[in-house]
Structure 1
Amino acid sequence: MLSLNDYLYSGDTVLKILHCYSDDLRENGIKNHNQIDLVHSNFLIRISELLQHNEFLTSQSQRILEFYKFMAREYPFLAFTLKGRIKSLIRAEEKFNGKIVGLVYKHYLANGTFPSLPELKDKLSKIRDLIAYRFVISLPRCHLAQGQNRESEEIKYLYELANALPEILEEHGFASQLASSNTAQAGSPLCEDVRPYYKDYIFGQKEAGYRSLHITLYDNLSRSFAEVQLRTKDMDDFAEIGPANHLGYEKRQEAERARRDKIPVGECQYFDEAYERGMMLQKLDLSKIDVNMFSAVDNSLINDGCGLFRGRLILPYEHLSRFQNDLID
């Protein structure tokens, strides 16, 4: 079985690693009639193309910025940030293999059988968050009226922004995509006409405490998908530096082991390989790997300027409360 871990010790660039891993997966898929390896190879090619041919990001990010301008104009009392990123190689590999493990596990629990190959391939083709933009808002205490609760006021504004976002961005070449799962529940503050497009992890909060609103957009100009996330600062802190942080592996490892215990070893090759790859990545010691332009003292002290681990930053913008800049003139 091929795994990304095998390619991280040669001193190659991220692009060279992507090409080598993708080529070998394709060769292995053809040789062993493993169609998931072929899907995997194509998935890595998509990432490689984003990193190599990303001129479209200038146009895309500028059009996403139109919503930022709307926020600055209509909500001058809010402070907020806008960031964009391409999912890093390690995160993307975790996502792909985790998707297989989750799909097989859910299908097996529900039916006692494994999903068909066409079903797996269809679901894997719908990973659409390789490009993501995040709006994080905060309501300064000086703008709170007496007796107002800061958290509830921020959430109120967050849903107002979520309701406005699809129409504004559709005017600039984007098309909102129906949420594939975890669709926002009836009764949430989302308007009825936008609710089907959102994954609402606030009203329908995840067990781990992660909270955010997610919507997937199709960019008709670049013919690519992008995910937009909306959070309050407290939600973002919880996700990035709190218990929900991607770096906190213990709960994830426990969940993955529980899934492994339910699926008979050797019964589903795709599950076995995806599970093993995922566990290998979780145990990866970043300080030991050798990738050009990457250095890590340990798993916490990391300098990643190449999109290997944390992700390649597309754009950062910050709007301070009651601060207007040239972007909204």
Structure 2
Amino acid sequence: MITLNDYLYSGDTVLKILKKYTEDLRQSAAQTGNEVDVRHCEFLSQIMELLEHNDFLTAQSQKIREFYKYMAREYPYLSFTFKGRIKSLIRAEAKFNGYVVEYIYDYYTKNGTYPPVPELQERLNCFRDLIAYRIVISMPKCHLKNPDDGEREEIRYLYEIANVLKGFLEERGFTAEPAGGVKESDSPLLSDAVRPYYRDYIAHVDPDGYRSLHITFFDNSAKCYMEMQLRTKRMDDIAEIGPANHLGYEKKQESDRARRDAIPEGECVYFDEAYERCRRLHELELAKLDVNMFAAIDNSLINDGCGLYRGRLILPYEHLSRFQNDLID
């Protein structure tokens, strides 16, 4: 079995590692007739295209910047950041194989058999977040009449921004993708016109505390998908450095082990290989890797300038609140 781990000690760049891994996986898939690995190669090729031919990102980010300028005019008292990234190679690989494990497990526990390969391949066409942008807002306390109202006010603004975002970007060449009922919002703050397009993790909080609004767009100029996430600063902290990050990871480990115990080893090669790839990625000691432009002291202190582990940054904008001493009337 071919795994990404085997290519992370060569001293090559991320792009060279990705090319070599994809080529070898494609040859292996042809020899073994592994149809899921064929889809896997197509997924890896998508990432390669983004890394090799990303001139479109300049035009895309300029359109996103127009919404940044809109917010600066409309919400001068809010602080907010706009961030963008291409999903990192390690996390993209883990997500693809994690989907294989999850779908086969869910299908097996429900039906007592394994899913048809075409159905599994179709499930693996759902990736829409290889490019993602995030808007994080915060209302400084100096602009609140009652500091205790901070979270409520921020959430109100977040939904207000969500109501405008869809139409704003569609006027600039994007098409919003329906969410298909996933995490459909029941918040009265979200307008009916945009409700079918958002996955609302604020109205439907995950067990680990994760909260955010997600919407997916198709960029008609670049012919690719991208995801927009909207959060308050507190939501972003919980997701990045709080319980939704650490506890979620631990729960995922426990869930993965339970899935391995439930599926008889050797019966489904697609499950076995995807599970093993996930397991090896989870156990990576990042400080021991030899990847050009990547450095890690340990699994917490990481300097990733090449998109191996943390993703390649494509958009940093920051707006500081218009500060004044007097409270807003």
Which residue of structure 2 aligns with residue 182 of structure 1? Answer: 182
Which residue of structure 2 aligns with residue 149 of structure 1? Answer: 149
Matches for 1:317-328 after TM superposition, within 5 Å: 317-322=317-322
Shift of 1:180: 4.4
Which residue of structure 2 aligns with residue 23 of structure 1? Answer: 23
Provide the rounded CA distance (Å) in 2 between the counterparts of 1:315 and 1:187. Answer: 30
Which residue of structure 1 aligns with residue 277 of structure 2? Answer: 277
Please say if 1:229 is aligned against 2:249.
no
**Residue 77 of structure 1 contacts residue 322 of structure 1 at CA under 8 Å; is this kept in 2?**
yes
Cα distance 1:93–1:225, how it changes in 2: closer, same or farther (>3 A)? same
Cα distance 1:271–1:188, how it changes in 2: closer, same or farther (>3 A)? farther
Provide the rounded CA distance (Å) in 1 between the counterparts of 2:185 and 2:261. Answer: 32
Shift of 1:267: 2.3
Which residue of structure 2 aligns with residue 123 of structure 1? Answer: 123
**Residue 78 of structure 2 contacts residue 138 of structure 2 at CA under 8 Å; is this kept in 1?**
yes
Provide the rounded CA distance (Å) in 2 between the counterparts of 1:185 and 1:163. Answer: 12
1:29 partner amino acid: A
Question: In angstroms, what is the RMSD of aligned CA positions?
Answer: 1.6
Shift of 1:247: 9.3
Matches for 1:1-329 after TM superposition, within 5 Å: 1-146=1-146, 149-180=149-180, 182-187=182-187, 189-245=189-245, 249-322=249-322
Q: Deviations over 1:168-214 (max 9, x none)?
A: 00000000001146232434532222111111111011111111111
Q: Deviations over 1:114-169 (max 9, x none)?
A: 22211211121220100000000001101112375211111111111111110000
Cα distance 1:3–1:147, how it changes in 2: closer, same or farther (>3 A)? closer
Q: Deviations over 1:267-289 (max 9, x none)?
A: 22211111111111011000111
Provide structure 1 residue ranges, at least 5 long, that are not aligned to the other structure: 324-329
Provide the rounded CA distance (Å) in 1 between the counterparts of 2:61 and 2:5. Answer: 32
**Residue 129 of structure 1 contacts residue 226 of structure 1 at CA under 8 Å; is this kept in 2?**
yes
Cα distance 1:296–1:142, how it changes in 2: closer, same or farther (>3 A)? same
1:268 partner amino acid: C
Which residue of structure 2 aligns with residue 326 of structure 1? Answer: none
**Residue 188 of structure 1 contacts residue 203 of structure 1 at CA under 8 Å; is this kept in 2?**
no
Cα distance 1:246–1:99, how it changes in 2: closer, same or farther (>3 A)? farther
Cα distance 1:263–1:188, how it changes in 2: closer, same or farther (>3 A)? farther
> TM-score when scaled to structure 2?
0.94
Could you say what secondary structure the match of 1:245 adopts? helix
| Identity across the alignment (%) | 63
Provide structure 2 residue ranges, at least 5 long, that are not aligned to the other structure: 324-329
**Residue 138 of structure 1 contacts residue 232 of structure 1 at CA under 8 Å; is this kept in 2?**
yes
1:80 partner amino acid: F
Provide the rounded CA distance (Å) in 2 between the counterparts of 1:230 and 1:159. Answer: 9
1:49 partner amino acid: E
Is 128-137 or 237-246 further displaced after alignment?
237-246
**Residue 80 of structure 1 contacts residue 138 of structure 1 at CA under 8 Å; is this kept in 2?**
yes
**Residue 294 of structure 1 contacts residue 306 of structure 1 at CA under 8 Å; is this kept in 2?**
yes
Provide the rounded CA distance (Å) in 1 between the counterparts of 2:278 and 2:215. Answer: 26
Shift of 1:253: 0.7
Shift of 1:106: 1.9
Could you say what secondary structure the match of 1:310 adopts? coil
**Residue 180 of structure 2 contacts residue 196 of structure 2 at CA under 8 Å; is this kept in 1?**
no
**Residue 158 of structure 1 contacts residue 232 of structure 1 at CA under 8 Å; is this kept in 2?**
yes
Provide the rounded CA distance (Å) in 2 between the counterparts of 1:34 and 1:138. Answer: 48
**Residue 88 of structure 2 contacts residue 307 of structure 2 at CA under 8 Å; is this kept in 1?**
yes
Cα distance 1:288–1:180, how it changes in 2: closer, same or farther (>3 A)? farther
Provide the rounded CA distance (Å) in 2 between the counterparts of 1:284 and 1:247. Answer: 19
Cα distance 1:14–1:181, how it changes in 2: closer, same or farther (>3 A)? farther
Shift of 1:250: 2.2
Aligned pair count reads 323
Provide the rounded CA distance (Å) in 2 between the counterparts of 1:65 and 1:14. Answer: 28
Shift of 1:47: 0.7
Provide the rounded CA distance (Å) in 2 between the counterparts of 1:189 and 1:80. Answer: 20
> TM-score when scaled to structure 1?
0.94
**Residue 208 of structure 2 contacts residue 248 of structure 2 at CA under 8 Å; is this kept in 1?**
no
**Residue 249 of structure 1 contacts residue 282 of structure 1 at CA under 8 Å; is this kept in 2?**
no
Provide the rounded CA distance (Å) in 2 between the counterparts of 1:31 and 1:179. Answer: 38
Runs of 4+ in 1 over 4 A off after TM superposition: none
